Chain A
Amino acid sequence: MKRIDCRGLACPKPVIMTKKELDSMINGEVEVIVDNQGARENLSKLAQSYGFEYSISEDSEGIHVIIKKTENKNSNLAEDEKNIVIAITSDCFGHGDDVLGRTLMKSYIYSLTEVEKKPKTLIFVNAGVKLTTEGSDVLESLKILEQQGVEILSCGTCLNFYNLSDKLKIGSVSNMYTIVEKMHESTNTIKI
């Protein structure tokens, strides 16, 4: 077990040294010796924020904080565990010229089919629903994404507003409650 003696060191030195040590190892235990209650508290908080188990004991040497790093409790989720939600709020990518914006959007959605790491969900809202309905130029790419396991949702209110309710060609209709839940469950929501 790695031992770090932080006695006599001022805040935030013990936390920084411990964090550095934890980050450098895949799993295992670190014992940190500190000499004040502030450092003890900060180390507990550090372990909690990572979701690691820890124990604290005191003896004549000082306060011993032992933090156990376990791979799967790491709050820095592995890349493939990330839950990316992309909210597409327009049929244009970016603001400026709409013709360019629509071209960029086609290019963007095609790129999603090619990248290795897929989003979990694509949510189409407002004019974004023009992309999931009849006449859209990206249906082929969206079909590929759906086959690759990406969930495709279109806002029902928006389909109704644009008179596209019976023109949906890909994915399913969703309401705002589901959209809010999907966004809150995600580790990263990207708004386009």
Chain B
Amino acid sequence: MEYIIVTFESTNFAIQAESVLKSRNLNIQIIPTPREITLSCGISILTQIENLNEIDELVKLGKIRIKEVYKYVKDEVKTLERLRP
């Protein structure tokens, strides 16, 4: 399965983005930011890769503020690949 992980500059931006994305009925999950991305105690959003366009759109409109987006493949071997910025 292919997902994206969206990271944020602050926990508050993550919480705010969660509420914006949920109000648009996007299927998202709050997850701890994987250690491969940062060792600090961060919160990220996990969602299907199909939702990337809508997230880009929301960023452009200034509705959410994000830091990075990673493509996350969750097979036997998990891989992370930076997509944004």
Contact = CB atoms under 8 A, between A and B. Distances in A.
Contacts of B30: 103, 106-107, 110, 137
A111 B32 contact: yes
B15 A107 contact: no
B69 interface: no
Nearest to A104: B43
A77 interface: no
A89 interface: no
A106 B19 CA distance: 14
A92 B55 CA distance: 27
- Tell which of B11, B18, B31, B43 has the most Cβ of chain A within 10 Å: B31
A100 B11 CA distance: 8
Contact of B14 (A103, A108, A111, A141): A103
A99 interface: yes
Contacts of A103: 11, 14-15, 18, 30, 43
Contacts of B32: 107-108, 110-111
Contacts of A110: 29-32, 46
A140 B46 CA distance: 12
Contacts of A107: 30-32, 43
Interface string A97-117: 001100110111011000000
Interface of B: 11, 14-15, 18, 29-32, 43, 46
Interface of A: 99-100, 103-104, 106-108, 110-111, 137, 140-141
